Structure 1
Amino acid sequence: MAHLFQVDRVRLLCSCGLPRPITSIYFCRHCLKLRCGNCVSHEVDTLFCPNCLENMPSTEARLKKNRCANCFDCPSCGHTLSTRATSIQAPNPDDSSKTVARKVYYLACTSCRWTSRDVNLSDQTVATGGWAEQDNVHYKYLQSLLEHYRSVAQREKVERERKRSSFRKSSYLSLSEKFSLSSTSMIGRKSLSSFTSLTSKGDPGLISELAPCVAEEEVDGLPDNIFTEEVDLSKVTTMDQRMASPEWQPEETDCLYPLHKHILVKRSLRCRYCEHNLSKPEYNPSSIKFKIQLGAFYHVPEVRMVRQVELKSEKETNVQISLCNPTPHDMTVTLLPFVPEAYLAAQQKGEELAETASLNTSSLVRAVEIPREKEDLSLSAEVALPQGQLVLAARDDTAEYDDQDSNSAYKDDPQVVAWRRANKVGVNLLVTPRADAARAVVGFILRYDYTNTVATATESRTVTLNMPVIVDVGPVEKE
Structure 2
Amino acid sequence: MAHLFQVDRVKLLCSCGVLKPITAIYLCRHCLKLRCGNCVSHEVDTLFCPNCLENLPSTEARLKRNRCGSCFDCPSCSHTLVTRATSVQTTAPDDPSKTSSRKVYYLTCTRCRWTSRDVGLKDQTVASGGWGEQDNEHYRFLQFLMEHYRALAQAEKLEREKKRSSHRKSTYLSLSDKYSLPSLLGRKSLTPLSPYSPKGDASQISEMIPLEASSEVEGLPDDIFTEEVILSSVTNMEQRMASPEFQPETVTELYPLRKHILPKRSLRCRHCEHNLSKPEYNPSSIKFKIQLGAFYHVPEVRLVKSIVLKAGVENGVQISLCNPTPHDITLALLPFVPEAYLQAQQKEECSEGGLVTQGGLVRVVDIPRETSDLKLTGDVALPQGQVILAARDDTAEYDDHDAASAYKDDPQVVAWRRANKVGMNLLVTPHSDTTRVKIGLVLRYDYTNTVATATEARIVTLNVPIMIDVGPVSE
Aligned match of 2:198: none
Which whole-Å CA distance do the structure 2 matches of 1:9 and 1:129 have between them?
48
- What residue in structure 2 maps to residue 472 of structure 1? 469
- Aligned partners of 1:334 and 1:388 also within 8 Å: yes
**404 and 2 in structure 1: CA distance in 2 versus 1, 3 angstrom threshold:** same
One-letter amino acid of the structure 1 residue matched with residue 465 of structure 2: P
Tell me: CA distance 1:233–1:304, structure 2 relative to 1, closer, same or farther (3 Å).
Answer: closer
Partner SS state of residue 52, structure 2: coil
2:200 aligned residue: none
Q: Which residue in 1 is equivalent to 2:143? A: 143
Aligned partners of 2:419 and 2:34: how far apart in 1? 26
> Which segment is superposed worse, 107-116 or 221-230?
221-230
What pairs up with 1:298-317 in 2 under 5 angstroms?
298-317=296-315
Q: What residue is the counterpart of 1:234 in the other structure?
A: 232
Indicate yes or no: 2:391 matched with 1:394.
Answer: yes
Q: Secondary structure at the match of 2:355?
A: helix
Q: Give how far 1:34 is off.
A: 0.3
Per-residue deviation, residues 358-413 of structure 1 (Å, max 9, x unmatched): 4x877366544321222110111111111111111111111111122222322222
Q: Residues 245-270 of structure 1: CA distance to partner in whole angstroms, max 9, x if unpaired?
A: 12222222222211111111111111
1:426-459 deviations in whole A, cap 9, x for unaligned? 1111111111121121111111100100153399
Q: Is the 8 A contact 2:44 2:263 kept in 1?
A: yes
Would you say how many aligned residue pairs link Structure 1 and Structure 2?
461
Deviations 1:288-344 (A, max 9, x none): 111111000000011111212121111112211111111111111111111100111
The answer as to whether partners of 1:92 and 1:100 remain within 8 angstroms in 2 is: yes
8 A Cα contact 2:448 2:459, kept in partner:
yes
Shift in Å, 1:163: 4.8
Cα distance change on mapping 1:16 and 1:192 into 2, 3 Å: farther
1:15-164 paired onto structure 2 within 5 Å: 15-164=15-164
Partner of 1:424: 421
Quick one: which amino acid aligns to residue 439 of structure 2?
Answer: V
Question: Residues 388, 115 of structure 1: CA spacing in aligned structure 2 closer, same or farther, 3 A cutoff?
Answer: same
Q: Distance in 2 between matches of 1:203 and 1:255?
A: 40
Call closer, same or farther: CA 1:337–1:203 in 2, change over 3 Å.
same
Match of 1:215 among 213, 219, 222: 213
Q: Structure 2 vs 1, CA of residues 329 and 246 (structure 1 numbering), >3 Å: closer, same or farther?
A: same
438, 441, 446: which one aligns with 2:438: 441
Write the letter of the residue equivalent to 2:233: K
Change (3 A) 1:163 1:309: farther
1:270 aligns with 268
Contact 2:106 2:115 (C-alpha < 8 Å) held by counterparts: yes
* Map of 1:176 onto structure 2: none
Other-structure match for 2:324: 326
Stretch of structure 1 that moved more, 347-356 or 186-195 = 186-195
The 3 A distance-change label for structure 1 pair 304 and 193 is farther
Conserved 8 A contact 1:151-1:208: no
Indicate which of 344, 347, 369 corresponds to 1:346.
344
SS of 1:470's partner is: strand
Query: In structure 1, the residue corresponding to 2:469 is in which secondary structure?
Result: strand
- Aligned partner of 1:183 in structure 2 is none
- Call closer, same or farther: CA 1:88–1:428 in 2, change over 3 Å: same
Any idea what the Cα deviations from partners look like across 1:61-80, whole Å, max 9, x if unmatched? Answer: 10001001111111122111
Moved more, 132-141 or 325-334: 132-141
Q: Report the CA distance between 1:94 and its aligned residue.
A: 3.3
Cα distance change of structure 1 residues 62 and 254 upon mapping to structure 2, 3 Å threshold: same
Q: Label 1:410 to 1:69 Cα distance change in 2 as closer, same or farther (>3 A).
A: same
**C-alpha spacing 1:189/1:438, structure 2 compared with 1 (3 Å):** farther
Contact 1:72 1:81 in 2 (8 A): yes
Q: Report what 1:450 is aligned to.
A: 447
For residues 323 and 230 of structure 1, do their structure 2 counterparts lie closer, same or farther at Cα, with a shift above 3 Å needed? Answer: closer
Say which SS state the counterpart of residue 265 (structure 1) adopts. strand
Q: 1:192 to 1:315 in 2, by over 3 A?
A: farther
The 1:274/1:235 distance shift into structure 2, 3 A limit, reads: same
What is the alpha-carbon distance in structure 2 between the residues aligned to residue 362 and residue 193 of structure 1?
35
Q: Supply the AA of the counterpart residue of 2:141.
A: Y
Choose which of 381, 386, 389 in structure 2 pairs with 1:384.
381
Question: Is the Cα–Cα contact under 8 Å of residues 74 and 80 in structure 1 kept in the other structure?
Answer: yes
Give per-residue Cα distances to partners, 1:232-289, cap 9 Å, x unaligned.
Answer: 4333322222221122222222222111111111111111111111111111111111
Structure 2 portions without partners, runs of 5+: 192-203
1:128 shift after superposition: 1.1
The letter for the 1-side match of 2:65 is K
For the structure 1 residues 457 and 118, does the alpha-carbon distance in structure 2 shift closer, same or farther, using more than 3 Å as the test? Answer: same
The 2-side partners of 1:379 and 1:459 are apart by 37
Counterpart in 2 of 1:285? 283
Alignment of 1:171-186 (within 5 A): 171-172=169-170
Alignment correspondent of 1:260: 258
Residue 199 of structure 2: aligned partner: none
**Runs of 5+ in structure 1 lacking a partner?**
174-185
**Aligned AA for 1:84?**
R
The alignment partner of 2:128 has SS state of coil
Question: Is the CA contact 1:442–1:470 (under 8 Å) kept in the aligned structure 2?
Answer: yes
| Cα RMSD (Å) | 2.5
Kindly state the Cα deviation for residue 172 of structure 1 after the two structures are TM-superposed: 4.7
Secondary structure of residue in 2 paired with 1:355 = coil
- Structure richer in helix, relative to its length: 1
Give a deviation string over 1:142-199, Cα, whole Å, max 9, x none: 1101101111222232344345456xx45357xxxxxxxxxxxx8447745889x979
Partner of 1:181: none
